[in-house]
Amino acid sequence: MEVFPGAFHLPGYLTLEEQIALARRCGTIGGEPAGFYTPTVRYGARMRLQMVCLGLHWNARTYKYEKVRSDYDGLPVQPLPDDLKALARRVAAETGMEVSPDLCILNSYTEEGRLGLHQDKDERAETIAAGYPVVSISVGDSAKFRMGGTRRKDPLRTFILRSGDAFVFGGPSRLRYHGVSGILPGTAPPQLEIQGRFNLTFRQY
Ligand code: MD6
Ligand code: FE
């Protein structure tokens, strides 16, 4: 369903089996040596989530992408697996959009997790101008996801992102402010056997 021009919420995109497999996968990726860590942003604040990037690393101090985690441990970033790339392409195609993702940011939230209001604007200017979408997939606990306009002060709408939901935002919505204002504890399907929430955002650099 199109929630803003170029922004689509696809509830229940993944089957329960796919959610189980993806949740496991996220745990495995996060447990690798170049796995989950808590980023510290420019002004010294620790983010209220754990992150691991695939394909290209997002440096929380410079807001730039790089091949090694120079703001944390210097380890080379893990590659972005082809099947995950293909999954993101399929989601985008479902909304009539096209994207060739070369990186993914995987976030892990506990029940206290949050993500402040932000724009995704650290990809190449050409990519953003062309409106290539960011494709988001969530598994685990539900999240309160807020989305506004292209100015921080614009009014916000809240969407509940549940396990298996996809969210795509591109075209004229590519630079809308958005964030996660809270996690709804204990809402993950029990078959996932996880607490908390994983969110993957696939992007084209
Ligand atoms: C999250 N997602 O859902 C954080 N960004 O945990 C994002 O910040 C995000 O969902 C760009 C596009 C889709 C998203
Ligand atoms: Fe974002």
**If you average pLDDT over residues 88-116, what whole number do you get?**
98
User: pTM score, two decimals?
Assistant: 0.97
The pLDDT tens digits of the residues spanning 141-191 come to: 999 999 999 999 999 999 999 999 999 999 999 999 999 999 999 999 999
C-alpha separations of 99 from 55, 96, 134, 150, 189 in Å: 15, 10, 8, 21, 30
Q: Which domain holds residue 165?
A: 2-203
The pLDDT tens digits of the residues spanning 2-36 come to: 999 999 999 999 999 999 999 999 999 999 999 99
CATH of the domain at 99: 2.60.120.590
Total tally of structural domains belonging to the chain: 1
Q: Which residues contact 164 (CB under 8 A, 6 or more apart)?
A: 11, 12, 13, 14, 15, 16, 18, 19, 138, 139
The pLDDT tens digits of the residues spanning 33-70 come to: 999 999 999 888 999 999 999 999 999 999 999 999 99
Pocket lining: 59 vs ligand 1, CB cutoff 6 Å: no
Query: Counting atoms of ligand 1 from 1, which one is nearest the CA of 109?
Result: 6
Per-residue three-class SS string for 152-192 = CCCCCEEEEECCCCEEEECHHHCCCCEEEEEEECCCCCHHH
Residue for token pair 């695939």: 54
Query: Which pLDDT value is given to residue 43?
Result: 87
Query: What is the rounded distance in angstroms from the CA atom of residue 76 to the CA atom of residue 205?
Result: 17
20 C-alpha to center of ligand 1: Å?
A: 20
How many angstroms separate the most distant Cα atoms in the chain? 42
Q: Taking the CB of residue 111, how many other CB atoms lie within 10 A of it? A: 14
What size, in residues, is the chain?
205
Residue 201 — φ and ψ, nearest 5°? -115, 120
Pocket lining: 103 vs ligand 1, CB cutoff 6 Å: no
Ligand 1 atom 1 nearest Cα: 199
